[in-house]
Amino acid sequence: MKLAFVFFFVLTSLSLWFGAQETPPAICRGKILPIGIMPGPEMTFVPVPLRFGGTRPPPVPWFHSFPTKTSFREVIKTREQFSDFWKRLLAPVPPRKWPPMPEIDFAKEMVVVAAMGERPSSGYGIMIDGACECDGQVEVYVSSNENACSGGGLAVVTAPADAVKLPQTNLPIVFRETQIPCPLRSK
């Protein structure tokens, strides 16, 4: 009986140890860049942790959805590029109902966009959750849930997206993608 208990304890400990081992978190080996939130309506939110420390609100309206069939990543460095993006973002909305285009100081900041494209329900999500300058480039970290997380999600077509402000740079931008498993489903 004692041997069976020890054997059970060892197996349980090993399964807990190896079950808890996942992909190690990304480490910024350079300068962590601040993530600025796009202007939007005043909202109460639960802070979401960022990859390298700190928190941010979840993606905000007007930037939490982008009308496109395919996923894309975009770096916007000028007012003209942002104006074009704004028109594409609000294309489904009658122009008289467009909110004013946010003011962004493109001498100091740029806008980075991550969009998932069209999805069949409300259980998908995407968020830019880290940025790091290292090895002569800027790495932008994007986390997404590609597996309709909330099994009881709404049966409505969505197009999850996120947009943030980062310090303006001439360095190349590289996107680092992470798939987040649904916390409500067992592995």
pLDDT value of residue 12: 31
CB half-sphere exposure, 7, CA atoms < 13 A: 4
Q: What stretches of 42-151 adopt beta strand conformation (E)?
A: 48-49, 55-56, 72-76, 109-115, 125-134, 137-145
Residue 17 is assigned to a structural domain of this protein: no
Residue in this structure with the two tokens 């999600």, named with its chain if needed: 153
Low-confidence ranges of the chain (pLDDT < 70): 1-25, 60-62, 147-153, 182-187
pLDDT value of residue 84: 94
pLDDT value of residue 7: 33
pLDDT value of residue 82: 96
The CA distance from 108 to 38, in Å, is 14
Angle among Cα 111, 115, 119 to the nearest 5 degrees reads 160
Residue 127 is assigned to a structural domain of this protein: yes
DSSP alpha helix (H) spans, the chain: 2-20, 79-89
The DSSP letter of residue 10 is H
pLDDT value of residue 141: 96
Flag whether the pTM goes above 0.95: no
Residue 149 is assigned to a structural domain of this protein: yes
Residue 9 is assigned to a structural domain of this protein: no
Give pLDDT tens digits for 70-83: 999 999 999 999 99
35: nearest Cα among 3, 13, 58, 14: 58
Residue 187 is assigned to a structural domain of this protein: no
Residue 16 is assigned to a structural domain of this protein: no
pLDDT value of residue 93: 81
Q: Which domain holds residue 108?
A: 29-179
pLDDT value of residue 109: 97
**Total tally of structural domains belonging to the chain:** 1
Residue 109 is assigned to a structural domain of this protein: yes
DSSP alpha helix (H) spans, 21-169: 79-89
Give pLDDT tens digits for 1-41: 443 333 333 333 323 333 333 444 678 999 999 999 887 77
Tokens for 84, please give them.
């074009």
81 by Cβ neighbours in 10 Å (0-12 / 13-18 / 19+) ranks as middle
Residue 71 is assigned to a structural domain of this protein: yes
